[in-house]
Amino acid sequence: MFIRRALRLALSVGLCLNLSLASPLDVGELGLQAERRADTGLVGYLGAIFLGADPYVYFYLSNGNDPLSFKALNKGQPILRPTKGTGGVRDPYLVQGGGNEAGKKWYIIGTDLNIGKTSWDAAQRTGSRGIFVWDSTDLVNFGNERLVNVEDSTAGMVWAPEAIWDAAKDYAPTNIIDLDILPLDTEGKNYLRFMKDESAKTVFVEYSTTGLFGSWTRAGGSKGTIASGVEGPAAYRDNKDDAKIHVLLDFYGGDGYRPYESTDPKGNKWTASSRSGFPSNLRHGSILPINQTLYDSLSKKFGS
């Protein structure tokens, strides 16, 4: 594993590698069980985001335990500015350490791309060959910046890396653009995965009750989608409602992230959430539920 092989993360990186998806099954064939997790220990949410053409990492903290209301930290200034590669980072993804690092280590990974210094054609053909990595022991102070090349000089489009801890497996690459995996238990059996169909420009969801490398079912059947003209799904569970799942979808041709929610993701029943407290123009990133200690530390360090 390029972050640390000891992490044993199942990587989902936005470049075309080899993984064949399971054939869609009948939606009713599998039961999806979400482990009870709503408790007072989780008191808020942290978002790592980039803003439009501004390729740096920004932190957004929820207003209390509201999953749909966020405020900019650090007076709206970036918390990370890359010094390597193109000097820009997009699609930041927060990764929680697992195993012995659980609750002790966090990572931010992201795309090496400052489009102001290149062109989309160049980035797709021979640019964006590496992944930015930073780490932290408190979720507040990130350092140890490195840019890890995972492609040679003839390739490009190493975009939107994401990672998830898999206690039983070493990491495995996929070929699905903008893949976001959401665990629903601590036993490694029940998962949701959100991904973009690059041809149709839609985001859809699949679920598994047999682990990361088991059988996956597309919610809503083979044509089931959540929305079109979107990318960069960022999914997270509600801290107060066991049954509720949130996902942010990046309307890349419009105003960026918009929130959606569901209490029946298996049935592909999604509704647009209220945006009264949700910031505009946020782009492809990630959301992490956090406890009181982390919430207070972030507020103290960065303010608003």
What was the pLDDT predicted at 182? 94
Among 19-33, 171-185, 247-261, the least confident range? 19-33
Q: What is the mean pLDDT of the chain?
A: 84
Q: Are strands 202-208 and 227-228 parallel, antiparallel or unpaired?
A: antiparallel
pLDDT confidence of 259, banded at 50, 70, 90? very high
Question: 162: domain range?
Answer: 5-302
What was the pLDDT predicted at 258? 97
Give the residue, 247 or 102, on which the prediction is more confident: 247
Distances (CA, A) of 67 to 47, 138, 269, 283, 289: 10, 22, 19, 17, 9
For the chain, what is the domain count? 1
* Dist CA 120 CA 122 (whole Å): 6
Backbone phi, psi, residue 35, to 5°: -65, 140
Give the residue, 157 or 26, on which the prediction is more confident: 157
Q: Tell me if 218 sits within 8 A of 24, measured CB to CB.
A: yes
Predicted model pTM: 0.81
pLDDT confidence of 154, banded at 50, 70, 90? confident
**219: burial class by Cβ within 10 Å (0-12, 13-18, 19+)?**
buried
**242: burial class by Cβ within 10 Å (0-12, 13-18, 19+)?**
middle
